[in-house]
Structure 1
Amino acid sequence: MAEHPELVAEMPAVARLSTPERLKHAQKRRAQQLKKWAQAEKEPQGSKVGAERKRRKRSDGNAKRVTFPASVQLLEAAARHDAEEVQHFLDSGISPDLCNEDGLTALHQCCIDDAGKVVPVLLDAGADVNARDSELWTPLHAAATCGHLHLVQLLIQRGADLLATNSDGNMPYDLCEDELTLDCLESAMAEQGITQEKIEEARGATEREMMAEIRQLVEAGADLDAPRGHGATLLHITAANGYAEAAELLLEHQASLSSRDEDGWQPLHAAACWGQVQMVELLVAHGADLNGKSVLDETPLDVCGDEEVRAKLLELKHKHEAVMRSHHRHKSLLQRRTSSAGSRGKVVRRVSVSERSSLYRREHEREAIVWQRAARRDSGDDDDDGQTDAELRRRAAAADPPAPSPPRNGSALCPHGPGTGATVHPVPDPAPRHHLPATLPDLKRHRAATKLQHLPGGDAATPVGRGDAGDAGGTGGTGGTGDGTGEPPLLKLTAPAEEPPAQKQRCCKVM
């Protein structure tokens, strides 16, 4: 049989072999081992004793002994239900509340394994009946979960806390599925006067204590993200335990959502792992990273084992991705608009104002021209005050002696009346087309001034001749009776008299 150093030396070579080759090699080594063992059995007993003595001599002074901590010895004895050995350890001064790395005491172990003989020994030695492990389980939680009725009764008699809550917020009766054991717990709670209000108050006691601690830290200006056990922060703890109010208080004071514990977990990892749906929604609403990765490249979705929480995480992830896509599209659109605006937008606005002003001016000019044409076609239309030209002439005739009827605009008047043989001199239009009034208010003012000239007692008593083009209120070119006795003609919608005509044209060429 090969020696141990030889076997260790050939391990790299064996690792490179294929599976069938490794199997053959193992069979070969096993055959050698059996052969060596058979030879050793044939040797006399004396040789064995001599060999043992030689081995002891070689190891003299270098002997090694394996020892275990007292906690391990006590737990091992309790797991074997060895009440005598447990009593021996306790008599030697070992504490009954020693625990392992998970906070599990010997009393926890005995309540799990139903070691009915060891539990009284531990309790008589002063073991803490309400000791808590790393997940805040008490021995009563363990006994109620396992349905060990007699242990539950014994623990209640020794003062076990019926309202003790574990890290999940569960009490012993919440975890009990055995009917008889549950009846025992509920009866004990009724005897102690425990009501539903007390139960709810006990459930929220831990969170209230944490909120009081958070307020003290805020008042002192301390760091809310200071790492605690295993590098976890207060937000990690609240997320894992589902303390929504405490988490809101932390987030209100800017607790970090990206802080990591020793495993690289963020608070959202803890909430997802422990199935806290409300905490998952709260953290994501405040901006927690759904794709944050731990040291092992695990996202919150990877560490989630609860189907409800997993479905919620997927829903939130899809919504977040949709919102981000919409945000990117809107952002890119704004960038394109900004880049294409520049100084061109200002030029467009200036041009728009100029075009509007020009448009208004052109509309006014067109409106004035329409009024002029309508007045020329029909001189008998109503004026602004509702009076026709005929009515105005009748009023003027009643005030003055009869005179020949005034001709239309641009015609010459004969001083002796018709049929006298006088030469008729056509009078040109007072102003060319480009000197006509530009707006409707100008036309109306000019029309009103013309009416005043024909009213009795007005300034129109003096006729306006062809040479009075520059007089105020005159028309400059309409003409009247040569001797001043004729009625001045009505001027309809003509240009103001202030501007003399650039050139004289016949009336037939005005329109």
Structure 2
Amino acid sequence: MAEGAAAAAQAKERRKEQLRQWARSCTNQEPAEPRWQRRRRRRRRVGDGDEEEDEGDRGSQGEGDGRAVRFERSAEFLAACAAGDLLEAEAMLTRDSGKEVIDSTNTDGISALHQACIDENLEVVEFLVNHGANVNQADNEGWTPLHVAASCGYMEIAEYLLKHSANIAAVNSDGDVPLDIAEDDCMENLLRAEIAKGGVDIEAAKREEEEVMLRDSRQWLNAGKIEDIRHSKTGASALHVAAAKGYIEVMRLLLQANFDPNARDKDGWTPLHAAAHWGVEEACRLLVEHFCDMNALNSVGQRPCDVADEDVLSLLEELRKKQEDLRNEKEANKRAVIDTNMEQHPSYTNKHRRSSVCRMSSKEKISVQDQSKERYVILGAA
């Protein structure tokens, strides 16, 4: 129970941070981050450890010129719902394309429904669901509104979402279903009862993504052609996802199919950035063995070691030395093959050329020519 309480506390803190991120994102200035780039919602290191400057901290004005930033319609809708201004939200849904606006998100992938759950605002939750909001929409870390309600212990909201087809087996990027991050005993009991009633196989749900990726990877390897579709928001490849989540067999198949180990997402992150950040040791080893670039810089100049989980920093240093040894060994083997070929080739050439007249001395040439004349005379006489 102690571990569950600690996990729930961490989850709740992540939701609070999402709220702060949302407030900043209204300026539409902060670049989106892939889901694996916020390990436990901690700040990423830049350079020698200085924290990144948040664009939202600069306010909604221009760089001192007094020009106001014009918000997009989606940001205005998110703000109206967050403020509980349902009249304005209703007007926007009527005026604009309702479906496009109602499921719009901020840079963290948080929708108005996510935010209403974070704020424990059942009235806004009901308003959004009644207007067609997607109850199973996932944010950039795979959290659905039910994950939010479960982690925060908001029973009424969780019950309402479940009555409106919320997926009890939705798996987030940490591999957790809502039950795994439930806040308290009452929430656990509610979710367990729902799982039992629906006969849901939670373990199968958790394996589903990896199994789909295994199937696709085998098909690509057998066909000799990779048909990966990048994530629409983050630009993440299949190898990024597998590295971040520790799908090692998927990685082996992808690399065997010649998947680029240095593929980059929209923020310049390579699979090694992802594996290092999430502390997936075996993924780091596998990528290094396939000669990934350990010094690759992302869009803000960070190497994999700069964004790595502290637990894998020493491993990365060890792997750096190992990769250098492997590279030297590979070069040595390559030179050995070249040297062997060079030794064999002259031997064959010299043997062939020694029978040629042009390689003989003048005296030898005359002797051969005389012999040829004698053979010609004998053959002519015959």
- Place the TM-score, normalised by the shorter chain, in its bin: 0.5 to 0.7
Aligned letter for 1:86? Answer: A
Q: Aligned equivalents of 1:85 and 1:231: distance in 2?
A: 34
Q: Which runs of 5+ in 1 are unaligned?
A: 1-63, 343-511
Q: Aligned equivalents of 2:272 and 2:69: distance in 1?
A: 44
Match of 1:241 among 240, 245, 252: 245
Matched position secondary structure for 1:98: coil
Match of 1:89 among 92, 97, 103: 92
| TM-fit CA distance, 1:106 | 1.2
Match of 2:263 among 259, 262, 268: 259
Residue in 2 aligned with 1:160? 166
| TM-fit CA distance, 1:163 | 0.6
Q: Aligned equivalents of 1:218 and 1:286: distance in 2?
A: 17
TM-score by length of 1: 0.46
Match of 2:76 among 68, 73, 76: 73
Is 1:125 matched up with 2:128? no
Q: Which moved more, 1:154-163 or 1:172-181?
A: 172-181
- 1:87 touches 1:121 (CA, 8 Å); kept in 2? no
Q: Aligned equivalents of 2:294 and 2:68: distance in 1?
A: 52
Residue in 2 aligned with 1:139? 145
Query: In structure 2, do the counterparts of structure 1 residues 110 and 238 end up closer, same or farther at CA, with 3 Å as the change threshold?
Result: same
Query: In structure 2, do the counterparts of structure 1 residues 266 and 175 end up closer, same or farther at CA, with 3 Å as the change threshold?
Result: same
Matches for 1:300-339 after TM superposition, within 5 Å? 300-304=304-308, 306-320=309-323, 323=325
| TM-fit CA distance, 1:119 | 0.8
Matches for 1:4-43 after TM superposition, within 5 Å? none
Aligned letter for 1:307? Answer: E
Match of 1:111 among 117, 120, 124: 117
Query: In structure 2, do the counterparts of structure 1 residues 258 and 74 end up closer, same or farther at CA, with 3 Å as the change threshold?
Result: closer
Residue in 1 aligned with 2:157? 151
Residue in 2 aligned with 1:282? 286
Query: In structure 2, do the counterparts of structure 1 residues 65 and 255 end up closer, same or farther at CA, with 3 Å as the change threshold?
Result: closer
Query: In structure 2, do the counterparts of structure 1 residues 224 and 158 end up closer, same or farther at CA, with 3 Å as the change threshold?
Result: closer
Q: How many matched pairs?
A: 267
- 1:301 touches 1:310 (CA, 8 Å); kept in 2? yes
Matches for 1:392-403 after TM superposition, within 5 Å? none
Q: Which entry has the higher C-alpha Rg, 1 or 2?
A: 1
CA RMSD between the two structures: 3.4
Aligned letter for 1:275? Answer: G
Q: Which runs of 5+ in 2 are unaligned?
A: 1-66, 344-382
- 1:224 touches 1:255 (CA, 8 Å); kept in 2? no
- 1:265 touches 1:294 (CA, 8 Å); kept in 2? yes
| TM-fit CA distance, 1:120 | 0.9
Matched position secondary structure for 1:174: helix
Match of 2:275 among 271, 277, 281: 271
| TM-fit CA distance, 1:324 | 5.8
| TM-fit CA distance, 1:92 | 4.3
Residue in 2 aligned with 1:209? 212
- 2:288 touches 2:323 (CA, 8 Å); kept in 1? no
Matched position secondary structure for 1:204: helix
| TM-fit CA distance, 1:115 | 1.0
- 2:288 touches 2:294 (CA, 8 Å); kept in 1? yes
* 1:162-206 deviation digits (Å, cap 9, x = unpaired): 110112222112222333322322232223223xxx222111211
Query: In structure 2, do the counterparts of structure 1 residues 75 and 260 end up closer, same or farther at CA, with 3 Å as the change threshold?
Result: closer
| TM-fit CA distance, 1:80 | 0.8
| TM-fit CA distance, 1:262 | 4.0
TM-score by length of 2: 0.60
Query: In structure 2, do the counterparts of structure 1 residues 212 and 325 end up closer, same or farther at CA, with 3 Å as the change threshold?
Result: closer
Q: Aligned equivalents of 1:111 and 1:128: distance in 2?
A: 13
